[in-house]
Amino acid sequence: MLTFLYRVWQLFVAAPLALLASILTALTVTIGCTLGEGHFWGYWPARLWARAIIRVLLLPVKVEGREHLQPGQSYVFVANHQGAFDIFLVYGFLNRNFKWMMKHQLRRMPLVGMACAAAHHIFVDKRGPSKVKETYDKARATLRDGMSLVVFPEGARTYTGHMGEFKRGAFMLADELQLPVVPLTINGSFNVMPRMRDMKWVCWHPLRLTIHEPVFPVGQGKENILHLEQQSYQTVMSGLVPEYRGYKPNPDQ
């Protein structure tokens, strides 16, 4: 009975409100960033949008570890990628202004791609050496400007709830700029809506975002990159619920 009522709520209340909020947010971000002050308009409307989506779907959220972050410090945040609701959880509840590093295919999404481009989020394009260089040049400029960056280093959402491999791009940037890496563990997003159920019913499940202690550089070069990657991977893994701990290959990586 509760599942039925929750689906009725989604269909007649949550879905229409989420659609309206998404359209208004995309337009607000695009217009605001075009007029100026992109750091403000590229973050705050989307943060409110993400929180609204979570709240209208009645999903409880718990955040742990905000005390580990220092005001004014740039970070490279790396998180496991459980599902579509990772975006809402991080955007709405990390409480840090940041830019996403995302797949270039998202640029083609109606309204969303336009808003992300206007907000100067970083599209990862691997279609050639010049495109890869352009991606990392933009990321370097963003981080040097005092902004933080959020990356899903798996590069793709999980099919199982378990973590796949971490790719090194984010850790190479952190090494080059000597920035701390902050591991984030997301729990619950896979249960709410895994990629196998995209655009279908949302399942009620608590969400939890764990902000771990920063991993600081221990030098510069290959050894430091490996240190940042391995320490971050182990830390993210340690925060997962027991059901999803342990590596499982992701065929989409």
210-249 pLDDT per residue, tens: 999 999 999 999 999 999 999 999 999 999 999 999 999 9
CA distances from 100 to 11, 69, 161 (A): 30, 18, 22
pLDDT tens-digit readout, 164-220: 999 999 999 999 999 999 999 999 999 999 998 888 999 999 999 999 999 999 999
**Three-state DSSP class for 79?**
strand
- 211 phi and psi angles, rounded to 5 deg: -100, 110
Distance CA 159, CA 162 (A): 8
pLDDT of 142 reads 80
Report the range of poorest mean pLDDT among 142-146, 147-151, 174-178, 182-186.
142-146
pLDDT at 251 over 80: yes
**For residue 31, how many other CB atoms are within 10 A of its CB?**
13
